[in-house]
Structure 1
Amino acid sequence: MPAPTDYLLTHGGHRVEVTYKNVKNLRLRVLLGGRVVVSVPLGVPEHELRRFLDENHAWILRAQQRMRMAAPPQEQLVDGGRVQLWGAWRELVVADGDRASAREVDGRIIVTGADEEARARGIDALYRRELMARIPALREVWEERVGRRAAGLRLRRMTSRWGSCNTRTAMITLNTALAKRDPAALEYVLVHELVHLHERGHGPRFVAWMDALIPDWRARRLAMRGTP
């Protein structure tokens, strides 16, 4: 019976594209989209192929992750998708559990939730924790430099602003999406809102304050264009 060619093998949760060829050694590749392709010498039985795949299982997983991360960035709240944290794309791992939660583990985001809406709540909660871990130290430094103190600081999901300042109550609100951006963006927005406690508008005196406090603030603002 002739050796099979060009068939699919399910192994270790992967669909493996198998082709028998006139080659000396087994050759394993992971292509765009995470496809697993193996070239097999003629006459090699399937049990040897499966042992070869067992031995290279960890390599396959690493290669598939590299391929996913090399794809054009796009936020996807599914297993193997990606989300941003502090200016970098992180792979998303959807774990079992209906409770909405998310945490960072070894550079990846582990999230649980019954559906994408629940997972989005988990990611938002992660962003809030990340922001609150950084904001106190930034406030301590910048409130002293600006010479004004916020009466309070709130975090909200906002669609059209990175932050706002109520100059009457001295309450500052920051967008939770700032946790997606480079930490320099959070610093810029916080200083921007604190300066509004001196100047309500964005006129020459506001600009002079920003120039004195953060000379590269225009570059930081430009880098943030696109969202929200």
Structure 2
Amino acid sequence: MIDIFNFQYKHIKKYIYSFISLLTFVLFIIIFLSSFHFYIKKKSGYKLFVEFSDVYGLKEGTKVNFRGIKIGYVKHLNIQMNAVVVLLYINSSNILIPKNSVIEANQVGLFNDVVVSITPLELVNYSDNILINALSKDCLKSPFLCSNFYLKGYRGLNYDDLVRATTRISQRFDDPRFFNLFYLFLQNSFHIADETLFLINNCSSFLYLSVESIKLLLFKYLS
């Protein structure tokens, strides 16, 4: 009888241990999946469509900077008849970009690397919108850009334009006609200055004679 009781007790104990192990494993899986889902949801990004009039050296993988910090990259470019539509991927939906911002394609660095720069034009109170992200429904009523917004991009700092403008200015200075015109301008300026000094001198002499004449007339009639 005692042997049967011990045998049943061992089996029950074994089942209890197995149940506890299985329950612990299931709880671990639930906690892991919940954490992973929360992590994926937190780290999920969003997309913005930006229209440029030219590609400006942009390509897939080009960095997207917000206040100088990388927040995403160019995912795709679609060349159309009158514009280039660039698909920007922002790494996290918690990165809030004000709607009143300028998006520019700038050349930076020693090798003139092209980046997409996003610069806000006004200050926004982020603390009032702490629960909003770019994928939420409340984002549409917020002062921030939401997922799949279509925006207008502009050409920013471009060293090629700077070099081209400097070259044109230097070519104008190398033109002999420019120096001839500049010489005539200086010559006429000096002539006008001499004539102005001569006129001022004559005016001062006339005023002096007028004052002396008035003094003589006053002295004659008052004496």
State the TM bucket, normalised to the shorter chain.
Answer: under 0.3
Which is greater in Rg? 2
The structure that is helix-richer by fraction is 2
Q: Please, what TM-score do these two structures have when normalized by structure 2?
A: 0.26
Structure 1 length normalisation: TM-score? 0.25
